Amino acid sequence: MLIGLELKQARRELGLTQKELANELEVSLPTVVNWELGKSTPRGQNRQKLEAFFNEKNTEDELISAQINDALQVVSDDLGFDDLNDMLKTIIRKHNLGLLDL
């Protein structure tokens, strides 16, 4: 059951429907539904496809996150802030966002 819950959470974090994940993995919709419900578990080639898909997505997310951080650091430096956190705190205060606890 734990594998199913983890799969469901990972799928949702990527903003995918069960059908979209099924299409990505080239499996049927009922297969993904059964995995998430814990009625079956991915095995063999399907398990490999599933692991490769999520590893690829995580790597893409990490790369994008690093690029965003690098870009923000350049902007922070160009604007004369001591560091990125100083810039973010200033933006949050200026716009009364109060969304982040930095």
Cβ–Cβ < 8 Å for 36, 18:
yes
pLDDT exceeds cutoff 70 at 28: yes
Mean pLDDT across the chain: 85
Cα torsion angle, 26, 32, 34, 38, sign: positive
Tally Cβ neighbours within 10 Å of residue 36: 20
Token pair listed for 44: 């063999």
Total residue length of the chain: 102
2 falls in which pLDDT band (50, 70, 90)?
Answer: low
98 falls in which pLDDT band (50, 70, 90)?
Answer: low
Task: Please tell me the predicted confidence (pLDDT) of residue 3.
Answer: 80
Choose the most confident range, by mean pLDDT, from 7-11, 57-61, 64-68: 7-11
Q: Indicate the angle between helix axes 44-78 and 84-94, nearest 10 degrees.
A: 80
Of the candidates 48, 46, 35, which has an alpha carbon nearest to the alpha carbon of residue 9? 35
36 falls in which pLDDT band (50, 70, 90)?
Answer: very high
